[in-house]
Amino acid sequence: MARHLITSAIPYINGIKHLGNLVGSQLPADLFARYQRGRGHEVLFLCATDEHGTPAELAAAKAGKPVAEYCAEMHETQAEIARGFRLSFDHFGRSSSPQNHRLTQAFAARLDEAGLIEERVETQIYSKADGRYLPDRYIEGTCPNCGFESARGDQCDNCTKQLDPVDLIEPRSVISGSTDLEPRETKHLYLRQSKMRGELSDWIDSKTDWPVLTTSIARKWLNDGDGLQDRGITRDLDWGIPVRKGEAEWPGMEGKVFYVWFDAPIEYIACAQEWVDAGKGEDWERWWRTDKGADDVRYTQFMGKDNVPFHTLSFPATILGSGEPWKLVDYIKSFNYLNYDGGQFSTSRGRGVFMDQALEVLPADYWRWWLLSHAPESSDAEFTWENFQQSVNKDLADVLGNFVSRVTKFCRSKFGEEVPAGGAHGDRELALIADLERRVRAYEGHMDAIEVRKAAAELRAIWVAGNEYLQDAAPWASFKTDPEAAAMQIRLALNLIRLYAVLSAPFIPDASAQLMEAMKIDDDAWPGNVTEALSVLPVGHGFAVPDVTFRKITDEERADWHARFAGIRS
C-alpha cells in the first residue's frame, strides 16, 4: 500500500471562489485523492484557507467586523461550499491557526540560524488617513508616461509601463482616496533565496517528468535577469503571524507580521498538526518528517499557474533552508486558467459562476464532471453554457444515466427486482470483458499520471461500452427466444452498473453512491480484474430502480443561466 500526501493550493479567505479557482486546484486534488483511496492506498488530503494579508483586513473593515471574526466566518462559508462540492479533505485548516503560528515562527528561527534571513531597511508609502503602509497596487495616480489617470503603483494598466509608486503624479490611496501619503523607512526580513539558487536549480532540473508549465515558470524565476531574488517575508500589518524567532522576540521587528506567502505554504504542514489536534489522525510527522516515517510518502501538490513560483522556489527554499528533514514535494500538477464565455472570470465584476451559485443551480456532480473533463491542462480552457449543457446532457444523462435506467427497468419488467439466474457468458461477453480490462488499465494509467482529461475520456468510453454491449446483445430480443440468455445478459449489465459506480466515484461521488445504493451493495473494491468485478452481484441479489440519475439541462435553463451570470453578482 502506497502513501499519498496530497495538498491543494489554499484558497484565499477573501470571498467565494469561482469555478476557475476550483478546477485549478481543489477539484483535481480531490479527484486524485479519491482515486488513490479507491485503489486502497493510504491518503492524507489537506487544504486550508489562506487568511492573512491586506485584502482580508480591508474586506473585514468593509464588512464592519473584526478581521479574526470575518475570517472565521468566511472559513466556515468556504468549508460549507467545499462540502457541497464533495471535496474530501481529511482536514480543512486555517493558516491563522495556532499550529501555523508556532511552525512559521520556528521556520523563521531555523532560517535565521542558517544565515538565510537578512534585515533590510526600505522605503514604503505610508497613508496617514488609512493608518497603514500601502502595497504598490493599493496606490493609484496619473501615469507619468501616458497620462492615464488610474495607473496603479506597480504598473500602468493603460500603457503597461512598470512604475514605482513615487513616480505617480498625484498619488492617492485606493482604499480611502486620501492623498496624504508619505514615504517612510521600515525594516523587513528577507529570505535569501539567492543563496540557494544552485540547490533549487538542481532540484528543478531533476524533475524531468513535471509539466512544462511548472518547470518553465520555475526556470524563468531562477534565471531571469540577475537570477533568483531574495524575497521579503514580513509586512507592516496587524493581521498575521507576529514576527518572532521561534518562541523569542525578534528585536526590531515588533508589531510586524510574516508575509502571507511565507506562512501560507507552511500551513500545509501545520494543517496536518491541526488534523491530529482535531482528533482525526494520530501522527502527522509520519507524513511530513522523512526521519519519522515520511520517507516512503509520495507528495503531490495541485495549483493554478499563478501559484507555481511559490511552490517551486519559495517554499522549497524554506524547507531546504531549514536544514531539517521535512518532506519535499514529489510532483507539482499545475493548471492553466478557465475562461468564462469569451473572457475571464472576474471576482470584482461578478462575471462567471461562483462556487455557491453553481451549487444553487445544479448538483455538484454536474460541475465536477464538466470541469474535470475540460480541465485546463495544456492551455487555458473555456466555459460556455452551450458546451456545458451539451457535454453534461450527453455524457451523464444519455450515456451513463440512461444506461442505468434501461438496464434496471428492463430487468424489473421481465425478471423482477433481483439479479436473474440462468445462462453463461459467451464470446460476446468475453470480448466485452477483455475490452473493459484494457480500458480500466488505461484509465488507471491516466489517473496515476494525473492526466485528468484523458482519464475522463477513458471513463466515458467505459460507459459507452455498456451501451454498445446492450445494443449488440439485445436482451429484449433474446428474451423472447432464449430467456436464460437474456437473464445472463442483464445480470452482466447490472454488475456493470456497480462497476461503473466504483470507477466513476472519483469524478461523480454522489451519483456513484446513488448507484451503489440502488444496487443495494457496499462493496466498492477497485476492480483487480474485470471478470471478478462483474460477478459481485450474485443471482437473486435485490436491487432498486434508481430515480433519474442525471436529469437533462433544458434550453430554457441554459438561456436563463447565461443571462444571470453575465456580470454583476447580486
Q: Which of residues 463-522 bind RNA (CB under 7 A)?
A: 464, 467-468, 470-472, 474, 476-477
Count of all residues that appear for the chain in the document: 570
Residues 440-459 that bind RNA (CB under 7 A): 453, 457
Total binding residues toward RNA, as defined by CB under 7 A: 84
Cβ distance 11 to 264 under 8 Å?
no
- SS3 string, 447-479, reads HHCCCHHHHHHHHHHHHHHHHHHHHHHCHHHHH
Q: Which is nearer to RNA, 276 or 442 (CB)?
A: 442
- The smaller minimum CB distance to RNA, of residues 50 and 285, is found at 50
Of 382 and 557, which has the nearer Cβ to RNA?
Answer: 382
Q: Are 99 and 152 in contact (CB under 8 A)?
A: no
Stretch that binds RNA, among 64-72, 231-239, 244-252, 316-324 (CB under 7 A): 231-239
Using CB under 7 A, which of the segments 46-54, 102-110, 359-367, 561-569 binds RNA?
46-54
Residues of span 397-416 touching RNA by CB under 7 A: 397-402, 404-407, 409-410, 413
Q: What whole-number distance in Å separates Cα of residue 168 and Cα of residue 224?
A: 27
The sign of the CA dihedral 178, 180, 183, 187 is: negative
The one-letter amino acid code at 511 reads: A
Say how far apart CA 158 and CA 522 lie, in whole Å: 60
* Binding positions for RNA, 548-567, rule CB under 7 A: 548-552
- Phi, psi at 203, each rounded to 5°: -65, -45
Q: Which of 20, 28, 93, 135 binds RNA (CB under 7 A)?
A: 135
CB of 3 to RNA, least distance (A): 28
Asked if residue 119 binds RNA (CB under 7 A), the reply is no
Site map for RNA, 340-359, x if CB under 7 A? ----x---------------
Contact 19, 354 (CB under 8 A): yes
- Nearest-approach distance from CB 177 to RNA, in angstroms: 18
Interface residue with RNA, options 208, 348, 379, 570 (CB under 7 A)? 379
Helices (H), ranges, 289-392: 308-309, 315-322, 355-361, 364-373, 385-391
Evaluate whether 189 touches 253 at the Cβ level (below 8 Å).
yes
User: Hey, which residues does 189 pair with through a beta bridge?
Assistant: 119
Please choose, out of 102-110, 213-221, 287-295, 436-444, the segment that lies near RNA by the rule CB under 7 A.
Answer: 213-221
Of 76 and 468, nearer to RNA (C-beta) is 468
Residue 243 interacts with RNA (CB under 7 A): yes or no: no
Q: How many CB atoms lie within 10 A of CB 225?
A: 7
Site for RNA in 163-202 (CB under 7 A): 188, 193
Give the integer Cα–Cα distance in Å for 369 and 17.
18
Minimum distance, C-beta of residue 223 to RNA, in the bound complex (Å): 8
Q: Is 90 in the site for RNA (CB under 7 A)?
A: no
Which residue type sits at 142?
Answer: T
| Joined grid coordinates for residue 358 | 453553481
Please return the burial class of 399, using the count of CB atoms within 10 Å of its CB with bins 0-12, 13-18 and 19+. Answer: middle
Does the protein bind RNA through residue 298 (CB under 7 A)?
A: no
CB under 7 A: which stretch of 62-70, 111-119, 169-177, 299-307 binds RNA?
299-307
- Selected from 67, 228, 359, 459, the binder of RNA by CB under 7 A is 228
Q: Which stretch binds RNA (CB under 7 A): 18-26, 208-216, 441-449, 529-537?
A: 208-216
